[in-house]
A and B are shown apart, each in its own frame.
Chain A
Amino acid sequence: MTAPSGSAAHLQAILPLVSAERMAATVTALAADDFTGRRVGTAGGAAARAWLAAQLSDLGATVNTDDFPVRAVPEVYAAPMVVWGEGETSTRLVFGREVAVHSASADTLKVRRGPLGVAGSGDPSGRWLVVPTGMNLSDAARAARGAAGLLVSRAADADGWQYTVLAGPDPGSLPILTLNADTHHAVLTAATTGGGWWSANTPLRRRDVTGTNIHARFPAAAPGGIKVLLTAHYDGVGDHPGLRQPGASDNASGVAVVLEAAQILAAARPAGVGVAVALLDAEEVGALGSAHHSRQLHAGDVRPLVINVDGAGLLDQAAAVEACGPAHGLLALLDQAGRHTGLALAAGPVASDNRRYAAAGLAAVGIGAGMAGYHSPADTPDRVDSHTLEAIARLVVATACLAAPAPATVSSSIGDKR
């Protein structure tokens, strides 16, 4: 590269190096069966981590991993057996679509059968209680002494899935199942008319596991340079028994963008910019990997500019940007990079690891560009848009490059205090 680092000419030279094909291949690899959806503490998560560490090493980075404890990660360890009926008829419900295990459910492997009832009405003993829409679950649980369990309504997504959520309340003492709207309506009707029975188990356990972040360091910036930390979480909500949940958009796509940006920057990094990568674990259980890492940075008084990518799957008009911490200058760089690459940006929530870094006092932005099939079996590689991958990777590369001359050439109209 002969153009000055961070200049328009330099960007013109390196942005064409971004490869959508390479990123699509990364997404496909991370979404593969072997990695089982990459839930924290699983063999699939470990396999994905080993693969990612090798990828980073191949880019010439110094790679290390860092462990931290993660408590009570929910795991559906068997597909629930759920059958209900009225009179002579019976219906077996489809796990993931018509019925799912509530994350606050007690763990019961043994099937319980009992008559249907309505929560808050009549004697609950031995009954599966349907919680009417609008009734508070805590109120229902208080009125369910001796009940077999609770049945609550839950909205399904556009693909008909009850998507998985790992971060949630502590388990209660009752089995709890969630039903899609149609099933809930039918079962509530049966319970209200005094008929119907329900037979089900709720095989949901909690495991204390170890989360592991992956860190990659490239050659440091020249003295006085800017440190840029590129982050993305590589964990997913994980497969259920009989249900693959590949986690392609969330967040194999973000990891692919970060790897691609790191590859480009490793080869054509401006001298004034130091680049590091953190691929984070345990985001799906409450952003614990970034919480762990941000504490370390804070303790070491290391203050990089943090660019986090979560969801680069399906751009619709503009990429969302959320900023926190002393991020005025970083936002100005991002704005300039967006204008240079032609990517529209808009303020929008990116509830992800960027918030942990910001809470530690770092300049941090989260970038999100949409996703299909959120936390469900429908989050597959074919639904990750290659143009979106390319647009976000170009944005990240440009932002990092523009950081090099920032003190001299980039000013912010929004209160940059850097």
Chain B
Amino acid sequence: MSENTQISPATAGGFAGDPGAALAVTGSGSCCGSPAQAVGSILPPAGQSPAAGPCCGSQQAAEAAGSCCGTEAKTEAVTTGQGCCG
């Protein structure tokens, strides 16, 4: 796994708001997911654009590398401890 997953606020059970928000989670639209989070941190709210993914770089760079991530972006992601996939 690439990150810790802890959220607020709590509800009595089930989703506090629209369950459909789970379909628009930050990073889920990208190949690399979100950066690894420090344990106990609160993740950014769902629905933010995944465009600023931690290690994908540009689409062109990813295609040139034959990967889901551009080579330089991938290297930087690992260097900064963010992790990467693919």
Interface residues of A (CB under 8 A from B): 102-104, 136-138, 152, 154-155, 157-158, 162-163, 165, 167-170, 178, 233, 250-251, 283, 286-287, 310-311, 314-324, 327-328, 331-332, 334-352, 355, 365, 368-374, 412, 414-415
Report yes or no: A335 in contact with B19, Cβ–Cβ below 8 A. Answer: yes
Given contacts A158-B38, A320-B7, A373-B39, contact A342 B12 (CB under 8 A): yes
Given contacts A341-B13, A374-B36, list 15 more A-B pairs with CB under 8 A.
A104-B78, A104-B79, A155-B80, A169-B71, A169-B75, A310-B1, A311-B4, A339-B12, A346-B46, A349-B43, A351-B34, A351-B85, A352-B1, A355-B28, A371-B4
List 13 A-B residue pairs with CB atoms under 8 Å apart, sorted by A's residue number: A157-B38, A163-B36, A165-B78, A287-B85, A316-B40, A317-B9, A320-B7, A327-B22, A339-B13, A345-B11, A349-B34, A350-B1, A369-B6
For the complex, give the distance between the alpha carbons of A319 and B36 in Å.
17
Q: How far is the CB of B57 from chain A (nearest CB, A)?
A: 11
Of chain B, the residue at the smallest CB distance from A370 is: B6
Report yes or no: B11 in contact with A316, Cβ–Cβ below 8 A. Answer: no
Instruction: Bits for B6-41, please: 1 = Cβ < 8 Å to A, else 0.
Output: 111111111110111111111110001110101110
Judge if B63 is at the interface, Cβ distance under 8 Å: no
Report yes or no: B14 in contact with A317, Cβ–Cβ below 8 A. Answer: no
Q: Which residues of B contact A374 (CB under 8 A)?
A: 1, 3-4, 36, 39
Q: Which residues of A contact B46 (CB under 8 A)?
A: 346-348
Report yes or no: A152 in contact with B79, Cβ–Cβ below 8 A. Answer: yes
Of chain B, the residue at the smallest CB distance from A178 is: B79
- Tell me the chain B residues, 34-72 only, with Cβ under 8 Å from chain A: 34, 36, 38-40, 43, 46-47, 71-72
Report yes or no: B19 in contact with A332, Cβ–Cβ below 8 A. Answer: yes
Of chain A, the residue at the smallest CB distance from B29 is: A324
Which of B5, B14, B24 contacts A320 (CB under 8 A)? B5
Report yes or no: B13 in contact with A168, Cβ–Cβ below 8 A. Answer: no
Q: Which residues of A contact B84 (CB under 8 A)?
A: 165, 167-169
Given contacts A324-B28, A331-B22, contact A136 B76 (CB under 8 A): yes
Report yes or no: A365 in contact with B22, Cβ–Cβ below 8 A. Answer: yes
Of chain A, the residue at the smallest CB distance from B12 is: A342
Report yes or no: A168 in contact with B11, Cβ–Cβ below 8 A. Answer: no
> Closest 5 CB pairs between A and B?
A351-B33, A368-B5, A320-B5, A346-B7, A338-B14
Of chain A, the residue at the smallest CB distance from B2 is: A351
Q: Which residues of A contact B39 (CB under 8 A)?
A: 157-158, 314, 370-374
Q: Which residues of B contact A365 (CB under 8 A)?
A: 22
Given contacts A167-B86, A311-B5, contact A347 B79 (CB under 8 A): no
Q: Which residues of A contact B18 (CB under 8 A)?
A: 414
Given contacts A317-B7, A346-B7, A351-B2, contact A328 B26 (CB under 8 A): no
Report yes or no: B5 in contact with A137, Cβ–Cβ below 8 A. Answer: no
Q: Which residues of B contact A370 (CB under 8 A)?
A: 4-6, 39
Q: Which residues of B contact A163 (CB under 8 A)?
A: 36, 81
Report yes or no: A324 in contact with B78, Cβ–Cβ below 8 A. Answer: no
Q: Which residues of A contact B5 (CB under 8 A)?
A: 311, 319-320, 348-350, 368-370
For the complex, give the distance between the alpha carbons of A339 and B14 in Å.
5
Of chain A, the residue at the smallest CB distance from B79 is: A137
For the complex, give the distance between the alpha carbons of A318 and B1 in Å.
18
Report yes or no: B22 in contact with A351, Cβ–Cβ below 8 A. Answer: no
For the complex, give the distance between the alpha carbons of A370 and B8 in Å.
13
Q: Which residues of A contact B7 (CB under 8 A)?
A: 316-320, 346-348
Report yes or no: B76 in contact with A137, Cβ–Cβ below 8 A. Answer: yes
Of chain A, the residue at the smallest CB distance from B82 is: A165
Q: How far is the CB of A345 from chain B (nearest CB, A)?
A: 5
Given contacts A137-B79, A331-B23, A351-B27, contact A318 B10 (CB under 8 A): yes
Q: Which residues of A contact B25 (CB under 8 A)?
A: 322-323, 347-350
For the complex, give the distance between the alpha carbons of A344 and B1 in Å.
21
For the complex, give the distance between the alpha carbons of A328 and B15 in Å.
13
Of chain A, the residue at the smallest CB distance from B25 is: A322
Report yes or no: A102 in contact with B19, Cβ–Cβ below 8 A. Answer: no
For the complex, give the distance between the alpha carbons of A351 and B2 in Å.
6
Report yes or no: B1 in contact with A250, Cβ–Cβ below 8 A. Answer: yes
Of chain B, the residue at the smallest CB distance from A170 is: B71
For the complex, give the distance between the alpha carbons of A373 and B71 in Å.
28
Q: Which residues of A contact B34 (CB under 8 A)?
A: 349, 351
For the complex, give the distance between the alpha carbons of A373 and B6 in Å.
14
Which of B33, B72, B74 contacts A136 (CB under 8 A)? B72
Which of A104, A169, A316, A347 contacts B6 (CB under 8 A)? A316
Given contacts A154-B80, A158-B39, A343-B13, contact A349 B23 (CB under 8 A): no
